[in-house]
A and B are shown apart, each in its own frame.
Chain A
Amino acid sequence: ETGVTQSPTHLIKTRGQQVTLRCSSQSGHNTVSWYQQALGQGPQFIFQYYREEENGRGNFPPRFSGLQFPNYSSELNVNALELDDSALYLCASSYKREDTDTQYFGPGTRLTVL
């Protein structure tokens, strides 16, 4: 167990709806990264938050947005859901050090878009 928790475990939405996924980082960690893992593929980086500010973003449209709170927990919001958004969404926490931090993953939220 990494101490990273995510909620909910599973979620079913329909196209066009909005969804919010939540992540609690491991104690002592100040950085949260979000990844999308489509079926049969490796995780793809969505964005990272460090001390409540976005600290890097992958090739995802603006309808993917996030927040990090003062306690370093985080939310991932996806607006205008599309069928291709169906995936496992992973949260990873780390303690940011220059070039030496290691990310620890939560169990993920399985999102199904119908």
Chain B
Amino acid sequence: AQSVSQHNHHVILSEAASLELGCNYSYGGTVNLFWYVQYPGQHLQLLLKYFSGDPLVKGIKGFEAEFIKSKFSFNLRKPSVQWSDTAEYFCAVRGGGAAGNKLTFGGGTRVLVKP
């Protein structure tokens, strides 16, 4: 069964600081990888996704993520955060074959950016 682990449950940082959120998954086959964000009071929104090709993926709002197959990781980064980046961030994996079409989510990381 596939699983996703997000190492940090809570992150607090100041504006302009750099952000990196860890995500590791366990699944032996080909995976699609996603980062979703949930702003306070809003629904889950797609930040970025990786299906194939360049392992460095750029998403919306200045976010990027790097897929490192050998480490089963898909870490999210942003060089300089803003107060509006305060949100909960979820890493998700979709495996093919027997794993079907479902998304498996990590437990989420709450990010608080202090002005």
Contacts and interface: CB of A to CB of B under 8 A. Distances in A.
Contacts of A90: 43-44
Interface stretch (A16-24, A61-69, A77-85, A104-112): A104-112
Category for how many chain A residues contact B: 20 to 34
Contacts of A48: 100-102
Main secondary structure of the interface of B (DSSP, over half): loop
B100 A55 contact: yes
A108 B44 CA distance: 9
A104 B100 contact: no
A90 B36 CA distance: 13
B96 interface: yes
Nearest to A100: B51
Nearest to B99: A56
Contacts of B101: 31, 33, 48, 50, 55-56, 96, 101
A111 B40 CA distance: 18
B89 to A, nearest CB: 10
Interface of B: 4, 30, 32, 34, 36, 42-46, 49, 51, 90, 92, 96, 100-108
